Chains A and B, each alone.
Chain A
Amino acid sequence: MTSVTDRQSTVFLVDDDERIRISLSRALGKRGFQVSTFASAEDFLEGYDPDLPGCLVLDYGMPGLNGLELQEHLSRERISIPIIFISGHGGIPESVQAMKGGAVDFLEKPFRQHVLVDCIERSFKKDLESRAIRENTRSARERYDMLTAREKEVARFMIANPSNTSSKEIGRELDISPRTVDHHRARILEKMGIRSVAELIDLSVSASLPEE
C-alpha cells in the first residue's frame, strides 16, 4: 500500500467502544498508519505525549469527559493537536461547536474510510506545519537570546523602524557611531543565521520576537 504520509506521525484514537478501537486501529494499521488507542478521554490525557506528532480521532459521546470537553480541555492547556470527531449522534449543534473549537472535521459513524484517511492526512500535514512553525519560532528565539544587550537594542530598532535601517540613522538614534552600528548589524545577521535585515523583520513577525 502506498504511503504518502510521514510515518513518524501517530493517529491517537479515543473511543469508549472496544469494537471500534479494534477495527479502526486495525484498518488504519493495515493502511500503514501508526495508531495508539485510548478507552476514554482521561486515559488519553494520562498517556499522551504532546511532543509526538500526529492527530486525534475522537469519539464525541463518551462517559466521563466527552469529546467536546476534551477539546476544550486541550485548548485550555494550550496543547494543539488536530482533532477529527467521529460520532454516533451526528447532531448538528455538536458538530457546529466542535468545528468552532478548531476541529478538522466531524464525521458521523459509519464513515467512508477514504474520508477519514483524507482527514488524517490533512491533520498530519497541519500538525507538522504547526510543529515546524513552533520549531522555527523556538530556534529564532534561541538565536535572538544569544545576542548581547546592545545587539538586541539595535535589532529591535531595526524591527521597529524598517524604513530607517541606515547605519547613520541608527547610530544617531542610539547615540553610537555608524561603524559600531555596522559591526553590530554584521554580528546580528551572523548570530541569527540570516542574510539581510528584511529577513530579520520577516522572522520577527513569524516568530513573534519580543519588542522590548
Chain B
Amino acid sequence: MKFSLGSVLAISLAGLQFLAITIVVSTTYVTSEKAMLELARLRLAEAGKNASQHSQSFLKPARETAELVSRVFESSVLDVEDAAEVEKFLFQSLQADQHLSGLYFGDEAGNFIYVMRSSGPGPFRTKIIDVAEDGRTTQLIWRTADFSVVEQRYDPEDRFDARQRPWYESATKERQSIWTAPYIFFSSQQPGITAATPVSYPDGRLRGVIGVDIEIAAISEFLANLGISENSSALILNENGDVIAYPTFEQTAADGALDFDSIASFDDPVARAAFAELAANGGITVTRETLSEFEYRKNTYVSLVKPVLGKDVPWTIAIYAPQNDFIQTIKDNRRRNVWIAAAVSIVTACLGLLLAELILRPVRAFAVRTALVSQGEALASQPLPGTYRELERANKTLIDEIAQRREADAKILQLNRDLSHFSRLDLMGQMATGLAHELSQPLTAISQNVDAAITMVKEKPDPDQELIGILTELDEHAHRGGDIIRTLRGFIRKDKGESKPFDLNALITQTISLLQNEATTNDVDIRFARRTLPEVIGNRVQLAQVLVNLVRNAIEAMADADSTQRTVTIRVEPKGDHAEVSVEDTGPGVSPGITLFKRFETSKTGGMGLGLSLCRTIVENNGGKLWYDRESLEVSRFCFTIPFQA
C-alpha cells in the first residue's frame, strides 16, 4: 500500500508531537505521584502524632485536677469534713477547665459530693449524699457560675453509692491515679472518661477517692479538624476495639445508645475494612506506630495505627486516607495533559497537512506536468513551475528521456513508413523483374527456334518466301514482347533510392522494435549481439526490408513449429571491407525440396516466393551478398554483407 506524501508528513508530525508530550507527562506523573504518596505518609504520621499529643494533653487536666484535689484533701488546708467547703473547692476547680464535666469526692463512709455542669435549671449542679447513722440524705443544688443557688431540693429516691462504682474500686485497689475505660456519661449522654485518685489519711489509711469526669467528645471534634485530606478519617479505639472517638461521633451518640460501637460493627465501611482486623482477637494490642496500605472497592488507601498513651490509656489512634486525595490532582492533571497532547497533536496534524500541502504543491504540479508531458498534452520544453532542485534534475532527465524516446519512435515510424512504401514499390518491381526474366526465356527460345526454321527454309533449293515472311514476322512478335518487358522493367527500375552511409546497429535496433509485437505474439525472443562498427553504405530502407524479411521468416518458421527454444539471434561482424549480418533462428530449418532464392517458389501458404529473391537482389544491388549458411546444423542462419563506407 502506498501513502501520499502529505498524509505521511501530517501523521508523522502529529505522532511525534503526541509521543513527546506523552513521555513528558508520564515521567512527571510517575515522579510526582511518588512524591505525593510520600507526602501522604508524612501527613498521616503527622496527624497520628498530633492526635496522640492532643489526646494526651486533653486528658492531662483531668488527671492533674484529680491529683491536685487529692493533695489538697490530704493537706490540712481544707477541712474535708466540711461539705460546704469541699463543694466550693470542687466548684472552683470545675470552673478552671471547661472540658471537665464534673468533679466528685466519695469517702469510705459513703459520703459523696459531686459538682457537675448542668443543662438546667442552673448551669451547675451539686449532688451531696450525706450518710449518717440514722440514714442518708441526697441533696441536689443548682447554681449559677457565681455560686448563687438557683434551685435546691432533696432526692429521697437516690440510692447512689460511690464505693461501688468502677472508678472507686479501681482507684482503691490500685491505690494510685487511674483512668477508667471510656463510657457514656449518664447525665450528659456524652462519651467521657474518668480520672480517679485515692485520698488517704495522714496515717495512710484510705479516706476516699477523687473523681474527675472529662468529656471526650472534644477529642472527636479535634479529630474532625485534623484536616489530613478531604476523605480521610481518624478514629480512636479503646483496648476492646470500641470506637471511642471519631469525627462524627455526636450524631451517633444522639441515637441514645449508651454503648460505643465496636469497630467490627462501625458504620464507616472503609474504617471497618481497614481496622476491624485489629480487634479480631477480642482486644487491640498496638504497641508501635504502623503505616500500611489497603484496598477497598478498588481504591487504594493509606492507613496508620498508633498507640496513644501506653499502658495507662491503652487507646489506639487509627487514621486512613484514600491515596486519591493526594494524587487526584496529579491524576486530573495527567488526564488534562493527555487531552492537551491530543489537542496539540490534532493542531500539529493540521499544521502538518498544511505544511505538507505547501511542500507538496510543487511536487504535485510536477507530477501533473509529467503526466501531461507523457501523454503528449504538454511540451517537455515548457518551463517548469517553481520547484525543487531535485525535481528540476529529475525533470531534465525525464525531458531528455522523452526527447530520446520520441526521436527513436519517430525514426522507427519513419522506417516503417518507408518500408511499407518501399515494399509496395519493390514488390511491383520484383514481380516485374521476375516476370520479365521468366518471359524472356520462352521469348528467347521462340526467337531462336524461328531463326533455326528460317535458316532451314532458306537452305532449301526453292525457299518458300511466304513461309520466310511468316517466320520473320513471328520473330518480330517475340522481340516486340521482349521490348515490352524491357520498357516495363525500365519503368520500375527508375526508383532505385540512393546509397548513403548509415549506422547498421541503429537500423537493426529499429527493425527489432518494428517486429517486437510479432515476436511477442509468437512467443519468440529476439536477441541482438551488437558490435561497434564503422558506418556502412547502402540504401537504408532497402536493407531494412531485407532485415524485416529475414527476421519475419525466422519468426514465422518458429511460430509454425513446436520449438521449445524460440530465439532469433541477430549478429553483426566486420569481415574485411564488409559488415556481415547473420539472422539465425532455432526453428526446424529449410524444407527439403525448396530452392532458396528462386522466385515464385515458396513453402508458405499465402506467400509469393518473392521474399528471399527480393532480398538477394537488394543486397546485391547494394554491393553485398546474401546466402544461406548450410554449414550451421543446429540453427537456420541467413547471412548478408554490406560494404563499409570507403
- Please give the residue numbers on chain A whose beta carbons come within 8 Å of chain B beta carbons, in ascending order: 1, 17, 19-20, 22-24, 26-27, 29-31, 61, 63, 86, 88-91, 93, 108-113
Contacts and interface: CB of A to CB of B under 8 A. Distances in A.
A61 B448 contact: no
A166 B80 CA distance: 210
Contacts of A29: 452
Among B440, B442, B493: residue with most chain A CB under 10 A: B440
A30 B460 CA distance: 12
11 contacts: A20-B441, A22-B445, A24-B448, A27-B451, A27-B452, A63-B597, A86-B444, A109-B441, A110-B447, A111-B447, A113-B447
Contacts of B482: 108-110
Nearest to A117: B451
A126 B600 CA distance: 40
Given A24-B448, A27-B451, 10 more contacts: A20-B444, A23-B445, A23-B447, A23-B449, A26-B449, A27-B455, A109-B440, A110-B478, A113-B447, A113-B448
Contacts of A113: 447-448, 451, 475
B456 interface: yes
B537 to A, nearest CB: 15
Given A27-B455, A31-B455, A89-B433, A112 B479 contact: yes
Interface in B409-438: 433, 436-438
B486 interface: yes
A111 B479 CA distance: 7
Contacts of A86: 444
A113 B448 CA distance: 7
Nearest to A86: B444
Contacts of B475: 113
B443 interface: yes
A18 to B, nearest CB: 9
Nearest to B448: A23
A20 B443 CA distance: 9
B52 to A, nearest CB: 134
Contacts of B597: 63
Given A61-B437, A89-B437, A109-B444, A26 B452 contact: yes
B637 interface: no
* Tier of interface size on chain B: 20 to 34
A171 B442 CA distance: 73
Contact of A110 (B455, B479, B595): B479
Nearest to A29: B452
B621 interface: yes
A1 B459 contact: yes
Nearest to A113: B451
A61 B482 CA distance: 17
B571 to A, nearest CB: 26
B366 to A, nearest CB: 58
A24 B455 contact: no
B458 A1 contact: yes
A88 B452 contact: no
Nearest to A24: B448
A30 B456 contact: yes
A63 B595 contact: yes
A68 to B, nearest CB: 10
A128 B66 CA distance: 183
A86 B459 CA distance: 28
Given A19-B442, A108-B482, A109-B440, A26 B448 contact: yes
Interface of B is mostly: helix
Contact of B449 (A27, A61, A108, A109): A27
Nearest to A17: B441
B125 interface: no
A152 B489 CA distance: 62
A72 to B, nearest CB: 13
A184 B213 CA distance: 193
A15 to B, nearest CB: 9
Contact of B452 (A30, A63, A90): A30
A111 B489 CA distance: 16
B452 A110 contact: no
B437 A110 contact: no
Contacts of B458: 1
B452 A23 contact: yes
A90 B448 contact: no
A25 B162 CA distance: 183
B444 A24 contact: yes
Interface string B593-621: 00101100000000000000000000001
Nearest to B459: A1
Contacts of A109: 440-441, 443-444, 482
Nearest to A94: B620
B436 A88 contact: yes
Contact of A1 (B447, B448, B455, B478): B455
Contacts of A24: 444-445, 448
Please name the 6 residue pairs, one residue from A and one from B, whose CB atoms are nearest each other, closest first: A23-B448, A88-B437, A30-B455, A109-B440, A27-B452, A88-B440
A29 B441 CA distance: 19
A22 B449 CA distance: 9
B478 to A, nearest CB: 6
A86 to B, nearest CB: 8
A112 B443 CA distance: 11
- Of B438, B452, B486, most buried by chain A (CB within 10 Å of CB) is B452
Contacts of B459: 1, 30
A27 B621 CA distance: 34
Nearest to A107: B444
Contacts of B449: 23, 26-27
Nearest to A31: B455
A16 to B, nearest CB: 10
Contacts of A26: 448-449, 452
A19 B481 CA distance: 18
A22 B444 CA distance: 11
Given A24-B448, A27-B449, A110 B440 contact: yes
A111 B444 CA distance: 7
A59 to B, nearest CB: 10
Contacts of A31: 451, 455
Contacts of A93: 621
Interface string B469-487: 0000001001101100010
Contacts of A110: 440, 443-444, 446-447, 478-479, 481-482
B184 to A, nearest CB: 146
A106 B481 CA distance: 19
Interface in B112-131: none
A110 B478 CA distance: 8
**Residue among A22, A23, A29, A86 with max Cβ neighbours from chain B (10 Å):** A23
B489 A90 contact: yes
Nearest to B442: A19
Best-buried of B447, B448, B475, B493 by chain A (most CB within 10 Å): B448
B499 to A, nearest CB: 12
A93 B622 CA distance: 11
B186 to A, nearest CB: 153
B491 to A, nearest CB: 13
Contacts of B436: 88-90
Contacts of A112: 479
B458 to A, nearest CB: 7
